[in-house]
């Protein structure tokens, strides 16, 4: 394979979400596996809705994920290129003016359906004389411009879906230029793909029908259509679409919630494929494992619970030096006497890194003493036998073994009241390590509070 050149083309009208990012990630993994290039194209032809803040946000989110691009450009800088393409298509008789209003087009669509015909545009614009066009424009109408499809069957071999074909006679001639002169997605995209030598267009399967028309536009403009791969769309864990949840599933929000970049990348790279969903520590690992052949045809199921499990696994396996460095960067934890011991103690009980603050508060701060009235006598005995001096990881075992003998308690009845009194929690890190971090003074104070 020659080195592929792919592109990710977000519109800066909002922050990118998991659906966008899956497309970007697949493009990036494919390109990097084969020594190719990943381009970032900012589709900002909609000047009213596009903002610089959103563009900056998209770039920030991609950088945070590690999806660096080899080149980037804005479509808003290239209107002269698109205008030239329009003039060529007009001169070749492939772009024609139409004057129907949206209401008139909807009426035509309903009539066609009522007569059992597909709602394909009837090409009335092609039959208009110059005088008729002048008359319509005198009424204040401005034309939108449609590309004249060949009426032939367009075929290609999709890298995900296999052999594909679209009967161009069964679809409407696509509008390329709106009545206000603004461009729809299709024409600028083709012009850019030709100029930047895009070899593969990788996108969601909702674009399959568009591909037939775009392949013909490539040919009309003297280019060759890239190879194409249309991937199944994302659905939620409940099998429903994610459209109503995309705000909370933006990369910006997920990062604010403490989700690690590689947890997101690992999940999005593996769901909907024949690979097991497992955490990877580097994008390069995901790239080496990537193949279009592994992508199935069923919708890819995005489960936030699965994402958080991956995130917890990533933290559990995080290199010790990285974890300690992040702990030291936290002003609340910068004075930890043994950050390595603290990390090893709590890492199995956090889902996001910011959970370390919660456990620091439990272990070194003030806790709300739970109601342990029914265990008061037992806790008084525990307080009386609490070891003095410095604690080690063996202190807990020695202490509870004595309590087992003196009280006859065992199992949950032996350990749970102590855990609750010392941490205010019913579950958490191993108590032999917790007791070391608490130390005698704090442990004694908490037991005294529990029996007061």
Tell me the mean pLDDT in the region 156-178. 96
pLDDT computed for residue 95 by the predictor: 98
**% of residues, the chain, pLDDT over 70:** 99
Tell me the mean pLDDT in the region 331-339. 88
Vertex 184: Cα angle to 179 and 188 (nearest 5)? 125
Instruction: Yes or no: say if 329 and 197 are a contact pair by the CB < 8 Å rule.
Output: no
Tell me the mean pLDDT in the region 36-43. 98
pLDDT computed for residue 237 by the predictor: 84
d(CA 302, CA 20): 13
Q: Is 230 helix (H, G, I), strand (E, B) or coil?
A: strand
What residues contact 152, with CB distance under 8 A and at least 6 apart?
Answer: 168, 169
Instruction: Yes or no: say if 82 and 187 are a contact pair by the CB < 8 Å rule.
Output: yes
Tell me the mean pLDDT in the region 37-49. 94
* pLDDT tens per residue, range 86-144: 999 999 999 999 999 999 999 999 999 999 999 999 999 999 999 999 999 999 999 99
Vertex 360: Cα angle to 359 and 364 (nearest 5)? 120
| pLDDT range class, residue 246, cuts 50, 70, 90 | low
pLDDT computed for residue 73 by the predictor: 98
| pLDDT range class, residue 403, cuts 50, 70, 90 | very high
Strand partners, 273: 295
* pLDDT tens per residue, range 306-333: 999 999 999 999 999 999 999 999 988 8
Tell me the mean pLDDT in the region 208-214. 93
| pLDDT range class, residue 245, cuts 50, 70, 90 | low
Task: Please say if the pLDDT value at position 242 is more than 90.
Answer: no
Instruction: Yes or no: say if 41 and 82 are a contact pair by the CB < 8 Å rule.
Output: no
The answer to whether the 89-177 and 373-451 domains have the same CATH topology is no
CB count within 10 Å of CB 327 equals: 19
Instruction: Yes or no: say if 221 and 195 are a contact pair by the CB < 8 Å rule.
Output: no
Tell me the mean pLDDT in the region 29-40. 98
pLDDT computed for residue 47 by the predictor: 85
Between the CA atoms of 356, 362, 366 and 372, what dihedral angle is there, to the nearest 10 degrees? 160
The encoded tokens of residue 353 equal: 């890194």
Compute the mean pLDDT over every residue in the chain, rounded to the nearest whole number: 95
DSSP H or E stretch at residue 382: helix 376-384
pLDDT computed for residue 2 by the predictor: 80
* Helices (H), ranges, 186-332: 186-195, 208-220, 251-256, 261-270, 283-289, 304-316, 320-328
Q: CB-based burial of residue 206 (10 Å sphere; 0-12 exposed, 13-18 middle, 19+ buried)? A: exposed
d(CA 229, CA 87): 30
pLDDT computed for residue 241 by the predictor: 78
Q: Cα-flanking dihedrals φ and ψ of residue 236, to 5°?
A: -80, 175
Task: Please say if the pLDDT value at position 157 is more than 90.
Answer: yes
Q: What are the boundaries of each domain within the chain?
A: 1-77+232-316, 89-177, 320-364, 373-451
CA 194 to each of CA 200, 202, 315, 370, 440: distance values in angstroms, whole numbers, following the listed order: 11, 15, 44, 68, 72
Looking at CATH, the fold of the domain delimited by 373-451 is given as Arc Repressor Mutant, subunit A (1.10.10)
Task: Please say if the pLDDT value at position 390 is more than 90.
Answer: yes
Tell me the mean pLDDT in the region 61-79. 98
Vertex 30: Cα angle to 176 and 267 (nearest 5)? 100
CATH 3.40.50.620 fits 1-77+232-316, yes or no: yes
pLDDT computed for residue 290 by the predictor: 98
CA 444 to each of CA 83, 337, 382, 389: distance values in angstroms, whole numbers, following the listed order: 79, 20, 10, 11
pLDDT computed for residue 244 by the predictor: 55
Please name the residue that has the structure tokens 């009539």: 111
Looking at CATH, the fold of the domain delimited by 89-177 is given as 3.90.800
| pLDDT range class, residue 11, cuts 50, 70, 90 | very high
pLDDT computed for residue 20 by the predictor: 92
| pLDDT range class, residue 334, cuts 50, 70, 90 | confident
């Amino acid at each position: 394979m020659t080195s592929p050149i792919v592109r990710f083309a977000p519109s800066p009208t909002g922050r990118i979400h998991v659906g966008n990012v899956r497309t970007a990630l697949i493009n990036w993994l494919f390109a990097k596996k084969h020594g190719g290039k990943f381009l970032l194209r900012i589709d900002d032809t909609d000047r009213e809705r596009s903002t610089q803040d959103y563009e900056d946000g998209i770039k920030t989110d991609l950088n945070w994920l590690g999806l660096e691009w080899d080149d980037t450009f804005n479509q808003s800088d290239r209107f002269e290129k698109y205008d030239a393409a329009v003039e060529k298509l007009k001169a070749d008789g492939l772009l024609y003016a139409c004057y129907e209003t949206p209401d008139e087009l909807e009426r035509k669509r309903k009539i066609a359906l009522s007569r059992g015909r597909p709602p394909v545009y009837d090409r009335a614009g092609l039959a208009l004389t110059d005088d008729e066009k002048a008359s319509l424009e005198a009424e204040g109408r401005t034309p939108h411009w449609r590309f004249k499809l060949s009426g032939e069957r367009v075929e290609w071999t999709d890298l995900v879906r296999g052999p594909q074909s679209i009967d161009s006679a069964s679809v409407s001639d696509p509008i390329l230029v709106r009545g206000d002169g603004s461009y729809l997605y299709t024409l600028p995209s083709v012009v850019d793909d030709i100029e930047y030598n895009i070899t593969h267009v990788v996108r969601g399967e909702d674009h399959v029908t568009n591909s037939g028309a775009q392949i013909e536009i490539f040919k009309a403009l003297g280019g060759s259509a890239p190879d194409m791969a249309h991937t199944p769309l994302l659905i939620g864990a409940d099998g429903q679409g994610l459209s109503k949840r995309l705000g909370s599933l933006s990369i910006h929000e997920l990062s604010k919630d403490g989700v690690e970049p590689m947890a997101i990348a690992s999940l999005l790279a593996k769901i909907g494929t024949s690979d097991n969903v497992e955490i990877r520590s580097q994008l390069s690992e995901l790239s080496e494992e990537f193949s279009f052949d592994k992508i199935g045809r069923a919708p890819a199921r995005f489960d936030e619970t699965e994402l958080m499990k991956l995130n917890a696994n990533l933290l559990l396996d995080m290199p010790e030096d990285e974890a300690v460095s992040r702990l030291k960067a936290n002003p609340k934890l910068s004075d930890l006497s043994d950050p390595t011991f603290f990390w090893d103690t709590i890492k199995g009980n956090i889902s996001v890194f910011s959970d370390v603050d919660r456990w620091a508060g439990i272990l070194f701060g003030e806790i709300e003493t739970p109601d342990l009235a029914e265990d008061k006598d037992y806790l008084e005995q525990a307080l009386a036998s609490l070891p003095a001096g410095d604690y080690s990881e063996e202190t807990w075992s020695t202490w509870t073994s004595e309590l087992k003998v003196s009280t006859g308690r065992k199992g949950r009845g032996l350990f749970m009241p102590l855990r609750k009194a010392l941490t205010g929690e019913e579950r958490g890190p191993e108590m032999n390590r917790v007791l070391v971090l608490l130390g005698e003074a704090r442990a004694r104070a908490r037991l005294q509070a529990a029996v007061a």
